[in-house]
Amino acid sequence: MKQLIVLAAILPLMLIFMAQYTLDQKNSVAISILQEQVYTAKEKAKQEGCFTEEIKNELKQNISRALNIDEEEIIIDATETRQYRINYFDPSGQRGIIHYSVSVPIKKIMAGGNLLGIGKDKNTAIYTVSGSTASEYLPKKN
């Protein structure tokens, strides 16, 4: 009887480990999808010379659809002024560079958070993909 009581107490805690592994896999897939969507948008921005409203809106829609989150929760901070490709060394390192940062909330990090005393507000995190890339947009010749 003593062993049954111990099993009843320990089994839910042991099941959390299995659930955590599954949740980690789900979050890993979500992060991979986010990185893929940001990479695609970055390649489009390289061609345009900046992150246009069209590119940003398309990125928000794709992330929202793929990860099942609201578009309002997605934060995009990116270069919006057109950058031109340069064919010479720029000592400042800023000319022709497009910067971007895309942040998305991950709503469940710990499996069994309620059982462990972790509230919904603390069981979330913001995942950010950020980077820089060189513009491929060529200036128009007169």
Tens of pLDDT, residue by residue over 60-110, are 999 999 999 999 999 999 999 998 887 776 666 667 899 999 999 999 999
Indicate the pTM of the whole model.
0.83
Q: Which of 127, 133, 129 is nearest to 51 (CA)?
A: 133
Q: What is the pLDDT of residue 90?
A: 66
* Residue pair 65/36 in contact by the 8 Å Cβ criterion: no
Q: What is the DSSP letter of 140?
A: P
